[in-house]
Amino acid sequence: RHSLAPSVLHLGGLKLSKQEIVRDDPTNNVPDNIFWKLGLQLHRRDHHPLGILKNAIYDYFDANYPNEFEKFDDLCPIVSTKQNFDDVLVPADHVSRSYNDTYYVDAQTVLRCHTSAHQAELLRSGKTRFLVTGDVYRRDSIDSTHYPVFHQMEGVRVFTKDDWEGSGVDATTYAAEDLKKCLEGLARHLFGGVEMRWIDTYFPFTNPSFELEIYFQEKWLEVLGCGVTEQEILKRSDRVDNVAWAFGLGLERLAMVLFDIPDIRLFWSNDERFTSQFAKGQLGMKFKPFSKYPPCYKDMSFWISDSFTENNLCELVRGIAGDLAEEVCLIDNFTNKKGMTSHCYRIAYRSMERSLTDEEINELQWKVREQVQSKLNVVLR
């Protein structure tokens, strides 16, 4: 699995060997399988679906806003908690700051969990229109649309009085309407026709805030978050007279819809039957699954303790089974008379590339059971 990892990391112009990154801080919760994905920069490969998508989004902005948006796709994914959280007004007690949700390198340093980590600094440096693409990292659930490393593209556009004056609406309404128009145009550019809907939501850094969902594989799939930038962020970059919008696109989610890619793990595949189906600049193709190998389901029940979290379980399963873990799903949950709570999880194992043997799966499941007991402080039933 290490063959994928470069020996020298390109972390935003900064070149480091893996050995140079200090990982022995007691607060570090970055496992090996995540660490080895640092520096791969799938979004900078022109023949990779994520690179093709990034370039297609660039085309849209170049065509509609010539020479306006400055592009960054090589900013270092290792950022301070200030950049990742404080700068975008994430409250001190917000769940996203927890070790359960975010990968910490040390107490003040994280693997960015969104490209919004770069917003404030770029605004402070005087930039008013920009796109930031990069790999982001999150402890999260395991299924076909969630992966602990994925890619986002951030967009920010600042307006001045000249823009909204005379429009007949207030500055915030003007920005919100421009934002939706811009993103609906982008969706048309990428997909032609597709079924989509706007959902009102909450982000600490925007108000109002929205999510865009697209109908895919018989479900509504959330593909982006966006909104009108909180005035406090603009104030801190000396822009009290401005208004701005911002968005964060989930590139894998958009690429899944665009190329008909059924499972998010495929983006990491080196299998030629996957990689050969994509070519630089080609938006029109649909992925043809080369084969569907059968999944194998294993159930596991245990009494949880107070410290149990699903993210910890998922991390443990990924650590053992890697990309062979297709889904981890809670299928039963009850509390007995003594107040003890039992969870039953179903783990689906499946390779995208080959058939798995019973022996191999049993061995994985055995290790999972062993580590669940020894590391998660639960009691198997």
Phi-psi region of 231 (alpha: psi -120 to 50; beta: other; left: phi over 0): alpha
Residue of 250, 310, 312, 351 that binds ligand FA5 (CB under 6 A): 250
Report, in Å, the least distance between residue 105 CB and ligand FA5.
19
* Angle, alpha carbons 374-378-380 (nearest 5°): 90
Name the one range near ligand FA5 by CB under 6 A: 70-78, 219-227, 344-352, 360-368.
219-227
Which residues from 140-179 bind ligand FA5, rule CB under 6 A? Answer: 140, 146-147, 150, 152, 154
How far is 166 from 39, CA to CA, in rounded Å? 47
Tell me the H-state helices in the chain: 32-35, 49-64, 81-84, 119-124, 161-164, 171-191, 231-236, 251-259, 272-275, 310-321, 358-375
Name the one range near ligand FA5 by CB under 6 A: 61-69, 139-147, 168-176, 272-280.
139-147
How far is 50 from 269, CA to CA, in rounded Å? 13
Residue of 247, 259, 274, 345 that binds ligand FA5 (CB under 6 A): 247
Name the one range near ligand FA5 by CB under 6 A: 73-81, 248-256, 273-281, 315-323.
248-256
84 binds ligand FA5 (CB under 6 A): no
325 binds ligand FA5 (CB under 6 A): no
Burial of 360 (0-12, 13-18, 19+ CB in 10 A): middle
Name the one range near ligand FA5 by CB under 6 A: 246-254, 293-301, 303-311, 354-362.
246-254
CA dist 226 to 217, 255, 271, 274, Å?
Answer: 24, 18, 35, 32
Which residues from 198-217 bind ligand FA5, rule CB under 6 A? Answer: 203, 205-206
Rg of the chain taking only CA atoms, in angstroms? 22
327 binds ligand FA5 (CB under 6 A): no
239 binds ligand FA5 (CB under 6 A): no
Site string for ligand FA5, 98-117 (x = CB under 6 A): ----------------x-x-
Phi-psi region of 352 (alpha: psi -120 to 50; beta: other; left: phi over 0): alpha
Of the pair 39, 148, the CB lying nearest ligand FA5 is at: 148
Chain contacts with ligand FA5 (rule: CB under 6 A): 114, 116, 138, 140, 146-147, 150, 152, 154, 203, 205-206, 222-227, 246-248, 250, 252-253
